[in-house]
């Protein structure tokens, strides 16, 4: 009964990953929005992918702290932020993380 007063919604469980959106092509990269549904808000997250010279697909998990109330707005922000990230970082996003150099492979 109280859940209705406080906006609780069992369908919007914290951290539920939604279906991936259609990929958006940008400068040879694919941007795929796949936000996490966290209590009815959507966290900007997804994937940036690009085929390398051998045809293998390079992949980078892209997550931000931004939360939006609507899926469409979240998808749009994911694309905008990923485009900026691609422009700033480029292929370096696929390099191994030096902070994990000591971890076993």
Ramachandran assignment for 46, one of left (phi > 0), alpha (psi -120 to 50 degrees), beta (any other): left
Residue 2 confidence (pLDDT): 40
Q: Residue 21 falls within a domain, yes or no?
A: yes
- Model confidence band, residue 96 (pLDDT cutoffs 50, 70, 90): confident
Q: Residue 40 falls within a domain, yes or no?
A: yes
- Model confidence band, residue 15 (pLDDT cutoffs 50, 70, 90): low
Residue 66 confidence (pLDDT): 93
Structurally, how many domains does the chain consist of? 1
Q: Residue 1 falls within a domain, yes or no?
A: no
Range of the domain at 76: 9-91
Q: Residue 2 falls within a domain, yes or no?
A: no
- Model confidence band, residue 49 (pLDDT cutoffs 50, 70, 90): very high
pTM of this structure? 0.76
Q: Residue 45 falls within a domain, yes or no?
A: yes
Q: Residue 4 falls within a domain, yes or no?
A: no
Residue 65 phi, psi (nearest 5): -85, -10
- Model confidence band, residue 25 (pLDDT cutoffs 50, 70, 90): very high
């Amino acid at each position: 009964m109280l859940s209705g007063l406080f906006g609780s919604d069992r369908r919007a469980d914290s951290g539920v990953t939604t279906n991936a959106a259609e990929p958006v092509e940008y400068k040879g990269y694919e941007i795929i929005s796949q936000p996490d549904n966290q209590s009815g808000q959507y966290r900007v997250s997804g994937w940036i992918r690009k085929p390398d010279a051998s045809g293998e697909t390079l992949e980078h998990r892209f997550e931000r702290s931004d939360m939006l109330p609507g899926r469409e707005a979240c998808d749009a922000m994911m694309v905008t932020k990923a485009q900026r990230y691609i422009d700033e970082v480029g292929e370096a996003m696929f390099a191994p993380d030096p902070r994990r150099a000591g971890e076993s492979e």
